[in-house]
Amino acid sequence: MPAISSAIPFYAVVFDLDGTLIDSARDMTRVLNRTLSRFARPALTEEQVRGMVGDGSANLVRQAFAATGEALSEEALKPALADYLETYFQDDEPPALYPGVPETLKALADGGVRLGLCTNKPERITRKLLDRLGLSPLFGALAGGDTLPVKKPDGRHLSWVVEALGGGSAAMVGDNGNDVKAARAAGLPVVAMTYGYPRMPVQDLGADILLDCFTDLPDALRRLA
């Protein structure tokens, strides 16, 4: 893919991670089932976990235990969450990038677009995943689900990333309702990828543009203008 020039009408583009850049449901299912096993709970299927992704690790663990028949109190959640986070951080399986992601991100960055990441996944795990994928140098700012006192769908989570990139015109790229709500709250246009974890019909997300292929993103950003 050739470098993208100033034809992109945004100073910055901020991305979600899970379901947008990486297909992480397989990884989260594997790690989550290790935690469930250590707490004597039955395993979940990947399809079940896909419907739980997007609200951060604490909510994921809480939903996973509930799906196995155990409702966790806030106190009981703490050791289960700690086990999940440590297991995830130590996991050595490489995450799967969606087709066209590295080439498109590099082309945007080479064209002068500032790239940011706004995810509800914990920052420490997010940074490790980006390092392993070789994507870290492309992002000028990153906010995980525990970076700030707020997280998506709160628009301040997204706005913080935009400001960290230097402000200016920006757009959001995600895959579920939290991404769209955060973009609306921050006053940004939003592109939604149709292949992620939307938890509702993608047509109902309320995004400005729906995309099936990540390589179509540069043209979509031009249309947003």
Question: Could you give the CA distance from residue 27 to residue 89 in angstroms, rounded to a whole number?
Answer: 11
Question: Could you give the CA distance from residue 20 to residue 97 in angstroms, rounded to a whole number?
Answer: 9
Residue with tokens 């179509």: 216
Q: Does residue 7 come out as left (phi exceeding 0), alpha (psi in the -120 to 50 range) or beta?
A: alpha
Task: List the one residue out of 114, 207, 120 whose CA is nearest residue 164.
Answer: 114
| Annotation marks residue 23 as catalytic | no
Continuous segment of H or E residues that includes residue 120:
none
Q: Pick the catalytic residue: 16, 23, 55, 146?
A: 16
Whether residue 195 contacts residue 212, with contact meaning beta carbons closer than 8 Å, is answered with: yes
Amino acid at position 69, single letter: G
Phi, psi (rounded to 5 degrees) for 220: -65, -40
Q: What 3-state class would DSSP assign to 123?
A: helix
Contact partners, residue 216, CB within 8 Å, separation at least 6: none
- Consult the annotation and say whether 175 binds a ligand: yes
Q: 206-211 — which CB contacts under 8 Å span 24+ positions?
A: 206/177, 206/180, 207/174, 207/180
- Consult the annotation and say whether 179 binds a ligand: no
- Consult the annotation and say whether 18 binds a ligand: yes
Question: Could you give the CA distance from residue 110 to residue 43 in angstroms, rounded to a whole number?
Answer: 43
Binding-site residue ranges for Mg(2+): 16, 18, 175
Binding-site residue ranges: 16, 18, 175
- Residues carrying an active site annotation: 16
